[in-house]
Structure 1
């Protein structure tokens, strides 16, 4: 972490958002942050973290998308120092207790915490990843069809293909997304076939969803 980053004085909202990004599923919009932790990142709070190099924050469509930077992660890890506040020290004590489990699983931290402590559903995390990837591929346009070849590379690395496919099927059954084949067979590429999702014996190549 840079020296300037280590000296940044943060308010309560900024610190909470940093830890939410640290423990969350990668990129997060303000809407997703509010759903998870009850607050978003706007105005001076957002600019302060961005200017300090602790987050990356860009407008995608009509929503800001925030990502924790390496310096931001280091800033959180500095909470392990003896002078850290009690809330941060409790959080990292929890992370230390989970380390053995995390080393033996493919879960990102947010999945492990929900699974072990709250019995939460991993499905939520996958749906969040899919929604974020869709927003990027659709360039913020709600209900636009994009190819699965565009969406899949935008998902976080390391996600299990089978788990992603099952999440897509469940979202389709729940009418959260629409999946359709490419009508013109001549325009279907080998990549389209590799990224396709089989539903009822039919290959689906394109996805749309409504994002608010």
Structure 2
């Protein structure tokens, strides 16, 4: 297996750092890295990952803290296609075997890496365009459209609008609803503000926003309504019971 052009050449430590940050799916300090994996991300390893745009390092206070960027998520997802570094030894080669099998399993389950690691407790099957709940047929004039929003609504206000639209659209908590239908309910809401609210909601325990794996089933309307999260276009929303 040869390393694809879109995966940079990385040292074993740099690869290990990307994998740990992917699995943790959050900002991790050097102290936590040492406790979790027995190493810290410093010196040239840190510099290269930052220079490549793969890791964002917060140096405003110690211990330094690291988090994958969107590009870092992309490279971490693609590591299974790359050849293990020759200097990595058996441990690094074994890691690549795990990554390859993980990728095949997630692909079979139609679950993205970001959704899997951020929502490992979720058990509902991933949606397809055909299984996303259709909008309820009966709505009142008051609920058919979202309330008019201010030019720059606060994030909490937009999240409240999203949750209200979801309740109108879903037949039961946890059902998958297409973002295209959500956007139709919130036509008066600024698109950038809505996207920002959706990205923030991914961190909520009761919220899932994921891609539809079978992209051939997506309509042009679905694609236009997608929100970019973790370097992926996401098309479906589910909100569980409060």
TM-score, scaled relative to structure 2: 0.39
Higher CA-based Rg: 2
- When you count helix as a share of all residues, which structure comes out higher? 1
TM-score, scaled relative to structure 1: 0.44
